[in-house]
């Protein structure tokens, strides 16, 4: 059985938009997984320490037969392949992949919280999700559109589509 999974993408190092574009291709190639849609990319100010470049963020909608922990393992493998280093909380990164929503699953264990706990507070996550599926609702019944309307604006800037040539 396939589950709809929504993955957040972020980068602010080493050509961030190109990092995200490569990550989208790698996500589409995951086993037992199909890419349904990709959001536009957005530029936003960093959360936390401001002594770093702006981020580029987006999201993808996958249909996957992987369980959430296996999918998390795959996301972390892709991050590592992009040179991800976890040196500072909310610090700069080559690639950040977050499992935001996994079907109607509510999960909170030592490795994973789904839906992502910071999702309601981050316009750079909510807007791409809204772009992907305007009627997306979290398992507890809250609409992403409602959360986006209530979320403080971080001056998101929609970026032109990446040039794949």
Report pLDDT digits (tens) over 54-65: 889 999 999 999
User: Is 98 a residue of the active site?
Assistant: yes
User: Is 153 a residue of the active site?
Assistant: no
Kindly tell me if the per-residue pLDDT of 46 is higher than 90: no
Q: Which two tokens stand for residue 69?
A: 């922990």
Q: Give Cβ neighbours of residue 3 (< 8 Å, ≥ 6 apart).
A: 63, 64, 65, 102, 103, 105
- Catalytic-role residue among 84, 122, 123, 148: 84
Q: Which pTM was predicted?
A: 0.92
Q: DSSP code of 120?
A: G
- Catalytic-role residue among 4, 22, 93, 131: 93
pLDDT at 148: 95
Average pLDDT, the chain: 90
User: Is 93 a residue of the active site?
Assistant: yes
Kindly tell me if the per-residue pLDDT of 71 is higher than 80: yes
Task: List the Cα angle 130/136/142 in 5-degree steps.
Answer: 105
The conformational region for residue 119 under phi > 0 = left, psi -120 to 50 = alpha, else beta, is alpha
- Catalytic-role residue among 86, 88, 96, 157: 96
Our separate counts of H helices and E strands in the chain read: 4, 8
> The domain 3-158 belongs to what CATH superfamily?
7,8-Dihydro-6-hydroxymethylpterin-pyrophosphokinase HPPK (3.30.70.560)
pLDDT digits (tens, 9 = 90+) for 81-106: 987 665 655 557 789 999 999 999 99
CA distance 73 to 48: 26
Q: DSSP code of 99?
A: E
Instruction: Give residue 18's pLDDT band: very low, low, confident or very high (50, 70, 90).
Output: very high
Greater pLDDT, 4 or 15? 4
CA distance 160 to 158: 7
Domain boundaries, the chain: 3-158
- Catalytic-role residue among 4, 86, 88, 98: 98
């Amino acid at each position: 059985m396939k589950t709809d999974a929504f993955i957040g993408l972020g980068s602010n190092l080493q050509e961030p938009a190109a990092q995200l574009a490569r990550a989208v291709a790698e996500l589409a190639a995951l086993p037992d997984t199909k890419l349904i849609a990709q959001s536009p990319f957005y530029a936003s100010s960093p959360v936390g320490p401001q002594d770093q470049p702006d981020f580029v963020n987006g999201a993808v909608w996958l249909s996957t037969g992987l369980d959430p922990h296996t999918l998390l393992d795959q996301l972390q493998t892709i991050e590592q392949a992009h040179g991800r280093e976890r040196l500072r909380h909310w610090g700069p990164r080559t690639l950040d992949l977050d499992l935001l929503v996994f079907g109607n699953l509510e999960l909170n264990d030592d490795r994973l919280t789904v839906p992502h706990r910071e999702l309601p507070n981050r316009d750079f996550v909510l807007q791409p999700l809204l772009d992907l599926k305007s009627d997306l609702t979290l398992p507890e019944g809250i609409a992403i559109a409602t959360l986006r309307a209530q979320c403080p604006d971080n001056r998101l800037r929609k970026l032109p589509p990446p040039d794949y040539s």
